[in-house]
Amino acid sequence: MRWRSSHLPLLLVLLLSLLTLTPAKSESTTSEFRICSYNIQKFNKEKAKDYRMMNTLTRVVYRCDICLLQDVVDPDGSVIKALLKSINSMESERYDGFVYKSVSSKPLGKSATDMQKYVFIYREQTASVIGQHQYESKPQVFTRAPFAVHFQSMKTRVNKFVLVPLHSDPAQAVQEMNQLYDVFETVTKLWDNLNVMFLGDFHAGCAYMKKTDKKNIKLFANTSFSWLIGDKVDTTVREDTSCPFDRIVVHGRVFLKAVVPYSAKVFNIGRELKIQRKRVCLPV
């Protein structure tokens, strides 16, 4: 995802729905539990002061029960605090009065000038955090090591599940994706839970991951893992590229059966929310 505007850095969000235990009460009330993933390039204090950008981001997050934000530059927590204030101030009946909380990793990266956080924003009414784990290894393969969060929801058919984000370094995308299997083994032993989902900007396509690389990635070779965003899906908005950089991967039949069929897809913010603005292409 490589487009930026002056108001919202990226236009595409990955979205997936889980089946719930109760049917919808009306046509306007969805029974699906939505999990989203959004790479919001350098979301920092400057961008948090942009009212139009924050308003649009609030509308995006409010569509989700759990929303992963990547590339959050927020060393003191003030950026996410401002976002939560914006989200939780929504008083319209249209937004059902949900209250959102957050759980964040520490700043991650190999350069002092490029330290990023993984941040999960979640609805207090439909999800709760029951565990969190910052993955570490020696030697450290990841530029931004995954920050795994163990969630619980009384609304979904799978009550407890683990979300593991990855925003890979393009230059070592294959190595980082392969290392995710070690992350899987770590978190499943830690929480005794095989219902694990990986999500984020893996750079899993085009020049960064070729077909011949798949044999070196355990999550591809192991048939217990299902890649819900396929290799032919374009998760960029550049007219001259068609690359499946952003992915959602789930482990096991139990978790896979809890996913609403064909719900894993790209959500185009500009088109869906009818936002028109000049777009400027950024290099990878």
Q: Given pLDDT bands bounded at 50, 70 and 90, which one contains residue 236?
A: confident
Distance CA 197, CA 182 (A): 14
* The residue count for the chain: 284
Average pLDDT, the chain: 87
Q: With respect to residue 205, please indicate whether it lies within any of the assigned structural domains.
A: yes
Q: What's the CA gap between 146 and 99, in Å, rounded?
A: 26
What whole-number distance in Å separates Cα of residue 116 and Cα of residue 168? 12
Q: Determine the residue type at 279.
A: R
- Which residues 6+ apart lie within 8 Å of 276 measured at CB? 270
The angle that helices 51-61 and 78-88 make with each other, rounded to 10 degrees, is 70
Confidence of residue 212 (pLDDT cuts 50, 70, 90): very high
CB within 8 Å of 93: residues ≥ 6 apart: none
CA atoms within 13 A on the CB side of 214: 11
Q: For 7-40, how does the pLDDT look when each residue is reduced to its tens digit (9 = 90+)?
A: 344 456 889 999 998 654 443 345 689 999 999 8
Whether residue 28 is contained in a domain is answered as no
Token pair belonging to 168: 């890979």
Query: Beta 160-165 vs 196-201: how paired, if at all?
Result: parallel
Per-residue pLDDT at 94: 56
Q: In this predicted model, what pLDDT tens digit does every residue of 163-202 receive, in sequence order?
A: 999 999 999 999 999 999 999 999 999 999 999 999 999 9
Task: Map residue 81 onto helix, strand or coil.
Answer: helix
Given a cut of 90, whether residue 238 has pLDDT beyond it is no
> 88: helix, coil or strand?
helix
What predicted TM-score, i.e. pTM, was given to this entire model?
0.89
Q: What is the mean pLDDT of residues 49-64?
A: 89
What is the distance between the alpha carbons of residues 58 and 84, in angstroms, rounded to a whole number?
8
Q: What CATH number should be reported for the domain holding residue 118?
A: 3.60.10.10
89: closest CA among 74, 100, 104? 100
- For 246, the domain range is 3-20+33-281
Note whether residue 26 is domain-resident.
no
Euclidean distance between CA atoms 203 and 168, whole angstroms: 7
Split into its structural domains, the chain has a count of: 1
pLDDT greater than 50 at residue 203: yes
Mean predicted confidence (pLDDT) in 72-84: 97
How far apart CA 12 and CA 9 sit, in angstroms, is 10
CB contact at 8 A, 228 and 35? no
Percent of the chain with pLDDT over 90: 70
Q: Is residue 25 assigned to a domain?
A: no
Q: For residue 27, is it within any domain?
A: no
Q: Assess whether pLDDT exceeds 90 at residue 4.
A: no
Predicted local distance difference test score (pLDDT) of residue 56? 85
| Predicted local distance difference test score (pLDDT) of residue 23 | 52
231: which 2 tokens? 């290799």
For residue 280, name the pLDDT band (cuts at 50, 70, 90).
Answer: very low
74 domain residue, yes or no: yes
What distance in Å separates the CA atoms of residue 184 and residue 177, rounded to the nearest whole number?
11
Structure confidence by residue, pLDDT tens digits, 130-162: 999 999 988 889 999 999 999 999 999 999 999
Name the band, by pLDDT with cuts 50, 70 and 90, for residue 114.
Answer: very high
Cα–Cα distances in Å, from 117 out to 28, 39, 80, 147, 178? Answer: 34, 11, 10, 9, 21
Flag whether pLDDT at 232 surpasses 60. Answer: yes
d(CA 234, CA 231): 8
Structure tokens that stand for 4 in this block: 């930026």
Q: What number is the average pLDDT over the span 60-89?
A: 95
